[in-house]
């Protein structure tokens, strides 16, 4: 198995290799255990996982280990002839991280890292590693949003909700013909352009009836959005939906 340790078939666990080298032993009599003296850290590397489609995924982990884990996630959209991810991007999740966002890619590889914080800590041991890649979306609908109440500036508003929304995948907006009851605004024709490349998503609102069509305005909207649930890691480092 890849990583810095070895699989102990007697206990069905992944453990650290001994710190000793052949030079450590003066004679065969000094060579008393296969495991030797445990290292203070341990890394298990998963195989490269192909999700079949490049998309945003929630990476959910459940690791049974003797110490809290730090997870390094490498991802990309292509692999080379040896099966390694080409030009991977890297994300690191430590215990008690909140929030943990969805990650874009098709191919994923994870390092599960354990490390003693002091000599009194137990030996780093991994009993099991379970990883899931979830792109299941949930929906949220909000009616009669007055955009001037959202963060940002006139006609350039951050789309925020009152629930734990993770990566927003799709946004459908419907601007009201009547705006805020102001007769001066009733003649405006709102058009909404959604920018999903940033977080939070930005609503760019223009008056289609103005000269040049570049006048930014606020309006009243109905919105439907699909999103990936937000994640967090617990005190053991497992990544879960909030």
Q: Which of 7-21, 46-60, 77-91, 146-160 has the lowest mean pLDDT?
A: 7-21
Same structural domain, 68 and 182: no
Span 183-210, pLDDT tens digits: 555 678 899 999 999 989 999 999 988 7
Residue 205 forms part of a structural domain: yes
Structural domains of the chain, count: 2
Same structural domain, 127 and 162: no
Return the sign of the alpha-carbon dihedral for residues 74, 78, 82, 87. negative
pLDDT score at 17? 86
More confident residue, 164 or 172: 172
What CATH number is given to the structural domain containing 143?
A: 2.60.40
Q: Are 185 and 217 in contact (CB under 8 A)?
A: yes
Range of the domain at 169: 138-229
Same structural domain, 95 and 214: no
Same structural domain, 118 and 155: no
pTM (two decimals)? 0.84
User: For the purposes of burial, counting CB atoms within 10 Å of the CB of 240, is it exposed (0-12), middle (13-18) or buried (19 or more)?
Assistant: middle
Task: Indicate the residue among 135, 155, 189 that finishes a domain.
Answer: 135
Span 107-125, pLDDT tens digits: 999 999 999 999 899 999 9
What band does 71 get if pLDDT is binned at 50, 70 and 90? Answer: very high
Same structural domain, 42 and 121: yes
Same structural domain, 187 and 215: yes
Q: Are 66 and 124 in contact (CB under 8 A)?
A: yes
pLDDT score at 116? 95
Span 71-76, average pLDDT: 98
């Amino acid at each position: 198995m890849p990583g810095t340790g070895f699989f102990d078939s007697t206990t069905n666990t992944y453990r650290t290799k001994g710190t000793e080298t052949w030079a450590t032993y003066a004679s065969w009599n000094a060579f008393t255990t296969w495991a030797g003296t445990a290292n203070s850290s341990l890394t298990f590397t998963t195989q490269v996982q192909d999700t079949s489609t490049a998309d945003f995924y929630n990476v959910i982990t459940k690791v049974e280990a003797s110490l809290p884990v730090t997870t390094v996630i490498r991802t990309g959209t292509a692999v080379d002839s040896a099966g390694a991810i080409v030009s991977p991007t890297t994300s690191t999740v430590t215990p008690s991280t909140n929030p943990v966002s969805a990650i874009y890619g098709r191919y994923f590889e994870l390092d599960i890292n354990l490390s003693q914080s002091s000599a009194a800590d137990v030996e780093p041991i991994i009993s099991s590693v379970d990883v899931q890649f979830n792109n299941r979306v949930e929906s949220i609908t909000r009616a009669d949003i007055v955009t001037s109440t959202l963060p940002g500036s006139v006609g350039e508003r951050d789309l925020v909700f009152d629930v734990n929304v993770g990566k927003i995948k799709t946004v459908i907006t419907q601007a009201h013909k009547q705006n805020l009851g102001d007769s001066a605004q009733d003649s405006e024709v709102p058009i909404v352009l959604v920018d999903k490349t940033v977080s939070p998503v930005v609503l760019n609102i223009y008056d289609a009836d103005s000269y040049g069509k570049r006048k930014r305005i606020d309006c009243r909207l109905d919105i439907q959005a699909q999103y990936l649930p937000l994640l967090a890691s617990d005190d053991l480092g497992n990544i879960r939906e909030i």
